[in-house]
């Protein structure tokens, strides 16, 4: 059965079984695995980042709606290309959005996971078109 058709209880039960199986195969506790796999060392940066979404129309499945908003899910990744400098070195990456949070000050905070896919030419093209219009 596809995960999207399972109940929350079924998914939780399946996850617990998978963690138990993984623990028996690796010899480590699930909490140790989560700590070592999910959060790599991070360093604070203060740099400008340019990014552009590489997608067209996205199909989603609605979850809930209220007078103030809507919740929905999508099945595929939403790819982005990004470019930034750290210590004078240019970094260009293809990434997928993994989380977004609206902050109390009205700003938005994003988390992206780099992928191994090569960047597209969208960011370069957008910058070229922008420089031509000035």
For residue 99, the surrounding DSSP H or E stretch is: strand 89-102
Q: Specify the pTM.
A: 0.60
Cα gap 92→123, rounded to integer Å: 10
Q: What is the predicted pLDDT for the residue at 27?
A: 63
Name the average pLDDT for the chain: 83
Give the list of residues 6+ apart from residue 100 with CB closer than 8 angstroms, or none.
Answer: 108, 109, 110, 111
Per the model's pLDDT, the better-predicted residue between 1 and 101 turns out to be 101
- Please list the residues that pair with 97 across neighbouring strands: 112
pLDDT digits (tens, 9 = 90+) for 44-98: 899 999 898 888 899 999 999 999 999 999 998 888 999 999 999 999 999 999 8
Torsion sign, CA atoms 79, 111, 85, 130: positive
pLDDT digits (tens, 9 = 90+) for 26-45: 665 545 445 445 668 888 89
Pull the structure tokens for residue 75: 């099945």
CB 33 within 8 A of CB 22: yes
- Sheet arrangement for strand 108-114: 49-53, 79-86, 89-102, 108-114
């Amino acid at each position: 059965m596809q995960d999207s058709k399972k109940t929350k209880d079924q998914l939780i039960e399946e996850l617990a079984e998978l963690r138990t199986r993984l623990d028996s195969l690796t010899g480590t506790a699930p909490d140790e695995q989560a700590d070592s796999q999910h959060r790599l060392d991070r360093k604070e940066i203060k740099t400008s980042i340019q990014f552009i979404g590489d997608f067209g129309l996205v199909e989603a499945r609605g979850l809930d709606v209220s007078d103030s908003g809507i919740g929905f899910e999508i099945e595929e990744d939403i790819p982005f290309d990004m470019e930034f400098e750290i210590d004078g070195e240019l970094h260009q990456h293809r990434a997928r959005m993994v989380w977004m949070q609206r902050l109390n000050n009205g700003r938005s905070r994003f988390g992206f996971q780099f992928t191994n896919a090569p960047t597209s030419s969208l960011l370069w093209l957008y910058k070229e078109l922008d420089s031509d219009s000035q």
